[in-house]
Structure 1
Amino acid sequence: MTGVEVVLAALAAGAGAGSGDVAKAAMMDAYTGFRDLVKRRLGGRSIEAASPEVLRGELIAAGVDRDEQILAAAHQVLALSRNVYVQDAKGVQIGDHNTQHNTFG
């Protein structure tokens, strides 16, 4: 996994985590710190509104994929995300280029 892929995976993992138990709270704390590091490196630009392709380019242009502090924070988010369970999720995707269709009734 390249540096930018680690950062993108951690952004996705943190954005998808809910709140509630201790594991989720630790995950969200780590994600918030990580996200703030990325935003500062991008000059405060919003990372949530960008498409994945645009965000990837902005991350690479800003050198986020080579920033040791950001990469360490991304790895921490990914490690903590393994302890967050998705039992209450309405839909979960793992991997790249997925298609998911949900019907809730």
Structure 2
Amino acid sequence: MDPITTVIVAAVNTLGKGVIEDGYNALKNAFKKKLGEKSDLINAVDGLEKKPDSEGRKATLQEEVEIAKVNDDPEILQLAQYLLDKIKEQPGGQEIIKQTQTNTVSGVNVGGNFEFKPVQEGKKS
């Protein structure tokens, strides 16, 4: 799972905590600003919110994240990093991230820790 998808999946599983919800809404609003209110990515996020345990919806989200290329957007990466940090600070947050990273979506198993790397203007990391 790519970093943006991982953060969204983990955040959906921890919604209801003020700091998490604020960061999640900021990230979702950035998607809307960049892609539009009715984009396929927003539809995928909304679908995951309705069925957070659905592997199919996680796979759709991952696909839409890749298509939208939001992993290359510095503002979105910054918001996602903030959200990731807030999730990690919550009781059990590290475990939620770990479980999310080791879930299999589309046959790709992602383990270990990750941190977002800022994208410099004109350069991709």
TM norm. shorter chain > 0.5? yes
Instruction: Structure 2: give runs of 5+ residues left out of the alignment.
Output: 49-56, 106-125
Number of residue pairs the alignment of both structures matches: 86
The answer to which structure, 1 or 2, has the higher relative contact order (CA under 8 A, 6+ apart) is 1
Choose the corresponding residue for 1:28, options 17, 21, 37. Answer: 21
Instruction: Structure 1: give runs of 5+ residues left out of the alignment.
Output: 87-91, 99-105
Q: TM-score, normalised by structure 1?
A: 0.66
Distance 1:8 1:14, change over 3 A: same
Give the deviation of 1:6 after TM superposition: 1.3
Choose the corresponding residue for 1:6, options 3, 8, 19. Answer: 3
Residue identity opposite 1:48 in structure 2: D
The one-character-per-residue Cα deviations of 1:47-95 (angstroms, maximum 9, x if unpaired) are: 2316222222222222211011101111111110012225xxxxx6812
Choose the corresponding residue for 1:63, options 59, 62, 69. Answer: 69
Residue identity opposite 1:56 in structure 2: Q
Distance 1:18 1:52, change over 3 A: closer
Give the corresponding residue for 2:119: none
- Larger proportion of helix: 2
Give the corresponding residue for 2:85: 79
Aligned-residue CA RMSD (Å)? 2.4
Q: Percent identity?
A: 19
Choose the corresponding residue for 2:46, options 26, 35, 48. Answer: 48
Give the deviation of 1:29 after TM superposition: 0.6
